[in-house]
C-alpha cells in the first residue's frame, strides 16, 4: 500500500493537472484572471509591543513592491465578486515575499472565509493560516480611512491611482485576536498589461524566513497555483532567468 507521501504526491499531481487543464481552457489564470497590476511600495512599521516572530514583519523597513488587484470569477464591472489583492514584496536578497489575500471580514470567525463584495477598499485576509514556530497567525490588508477610495471596478482602481496614492494597512492576528497593524502598502501607477499577464505568484513558496503556510488549504493552493502557472508557461523560478 502506498505510503502517505506517495499518496500526497499522486493527489498533488492530479490537482495540478486538473488546474492546468482548466487554466488552459480559460486561456488565462485559473484564479482571479481579471486584474490590474501596479507599482507599489510597502512600508513596515514593525510590531515592537508584541513581535510576530517573523523579522520581516517585526523590523521597520521600506521595500519596493508589486501589487495586483483582481476579481475572482470574474463578474462584470462593479458586480459583487471575491476580490483579490496580491502583493509581491521585493527583498534586497533572496526570494520575494508573495502575500495573496481575498476579500473577507475582520471579525474572528469570518476572517477565515472568502466573501464577495463590491468595493475594493475593505478587509482582505489570507484565509489560510501561517505557522510561526508553534503558533498560527493570519495576515490581512485593511481599509485605510484616510486613503482615497478604490471604487467598485478595476477601472475605478486605476483612476484612483492617477488621482492620489491609495493605501491599505497591513495587519497580523491570531485566529480570534484583534488585528494589529504592522505596515502599509501604497499603490503607484499601473504597469503594462503584458507585465500583468506574465506575473506569477507563489503564495506557498515565496515566504520570508520564519513564516510557513499551514494546513490543507495551503497544500491545495500550492497545487492549484502550480497547475495554473504551468498552463500559462509562467515561472516563479528564483533567481529569475536573464
Q: Give the total number of structural domains in the chain.
A: 1
Which of 242, 203, 207, 234 lies closest to 91 in space, CA to CA? Answer: 207
pLDDT string in tens for the chain (242-residue length): 566 556 445 454 554 455 445 445 455 575 778 899 999 999 999 988 889 999 999 999 999 999 999 999 889 989 999 999 999 999 988 889 999 999 999 998 899 999 999 999 999 999 999 999 999 999 999 999 999 999 999 999 999 999 999 999 999 999 889 999 999 999 999 999 888 888 889 989 999 999 999 887 776 676 666 666 676 666 665 555 43
In a domain, 141, yes or no: yes
Instruction: Classify residue 231 by its DSSP letter.
Output: H
Report if residue 90 sits inside a domain.
Answer: yes
- 126 in a domain, yes or no? yes
**Single pTM value for the model:** 0.88
Domain membership of residue 155 (yes or no) is: yes
| Residues 161-187 pLDDT 10s | 999 999 999 999 998 899 999 999 999
* 85 within a domain of the structure (yes/no): yes
- Report the candidate in 76, 172, 170 with the shortest Cα–Cα distance to residue 118: 76
CATH of the domain at 177: 2.40.180.10
Residue 137: give the domain boundaries.
31-214
Q: Is residue 21 part of a domain?
A: no
58 in any annotated domain = yes
Amino acid at each position: 500500500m502506498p505510503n502517505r507521501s506517495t499518496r500526497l504526491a499522486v493527489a498533488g499531481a492530479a490537482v495540478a493537472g486538473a488546474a492546468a487543464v482548466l487554466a488552459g481552457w480559460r486561456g488565462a489564470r485559473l484564479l482571479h484572471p481579471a486584474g490590474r497590476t501596479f507599482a507599489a511600495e510597502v512600508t513596515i512599521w514593525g510590531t515592537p509591543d508584541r513581535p510576530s516572530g517573523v523579522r520581516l514583519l517585526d523590523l521597520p523597513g521600506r521595500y519596493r513592491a508589486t501589487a495586483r488587484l483582481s476579481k475572482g470569477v470574474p463578474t462584470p464591472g462593479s458586480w459583487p465578486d471575491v476580490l483579490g489583492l496580491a502583493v509581491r514584496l521585493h527583498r534586497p536578497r533572496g526570494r520575494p515575499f508573495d502575500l495573496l489575500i481575498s476579500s473577507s471580514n475582520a471579525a474572528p470567525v469570518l476572517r477565515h472565509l472568502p466573501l464577495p463584495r463590491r468595493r475594493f477598499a475593505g478587509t482582505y485576509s489570507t484565509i489560510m493560516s501561517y505557522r510561526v514556530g508553534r503558533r498560527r497567525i493570519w495576515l490581512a490588508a485593511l481599509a485605510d480611512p484616510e486613503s482615497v477610495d478604490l471604487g467598485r471596478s478595476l477601472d475605478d482602481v486605476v483612476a484612483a491611482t492617477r488621482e492620489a496614492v491609495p493605501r491599505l494597512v497591513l495587519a497580523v492576528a491570531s485566529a480570534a485576536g484583534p488585528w494589529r497593524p504592522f505596515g502599509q502598502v501604497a499603490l503607484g501607477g499601473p504597469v503594462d498589461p503584458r507585465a500583468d499577464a506574465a506575473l506569477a505568484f507563489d503564495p506557498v513558496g515565496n515566504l520570508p524566513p520564519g513564516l510557513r503556510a499551514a494546513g490543507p488549504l495551503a497544500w491545495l493552493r500550492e497545487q492549484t497555483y502550480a497547475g495554473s502557472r504551468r498552463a500559462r508557461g509562467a515561472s516563479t523560478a528564483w533567481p529569475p532567468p536573464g
